[in-house]
Amino acid sequence: MAETKKKNEWLEWVKAIIIAILIAFFLRTFIFATSIVEGESMDPTLQNGERVIFNKIIYILDEPERGDIVIIERPLKNYVKRIIGLTGETIEINGSNLYINGDKYEQNFLNEEAQRQSGNYGPVEIPEGNYFVMGDNRAISKDSRNGLGLIEENEIIGRSEFIIFPFDQWSLTR
């Protein structure tokens, strides 16, 4: 009897571990994942080497919004950038000023130095199903202005939610 009880207890533990692994796999595959910030293009918002958790399901349920920090999947590398322009909008950058559909847009997430280093760009109309993205460190960012081009909706694999590493820097990224 004692041996049967131990065997049943062992089977319950194995079932619990298998269920936990399946739940973790499901969450990692369809809901949340992590990404490492490489480079300094998102300074000061995100630092080189920080690890972020991103929400993979959000854009199945909703559309990307201006200001979202997103993970962009490209064949050789993933990029972390901020959405600036939405489908159908016209973007123009004139020095430190960003214009969306002809209206000046205040970039509250940037410091003055980063705004001054934005350069000149456009005007460019964003076609259907595309987005215009930039890094917060405008002077060195590879983004829609200079290398990444416009981002197709299916290339956006999630929205950054939390910084989880280094541990003393835990915070929301939104």
Give the active site residues. 41, 81
Phi and psi for 8 in degrees, rounded to 5? -65, -40
Decide if 66 contacts 85 (C-beta within 8 A).
yes
Q: How far is Cα 154 from Cα 171, in angstroms, rounded to an integer? A: 27
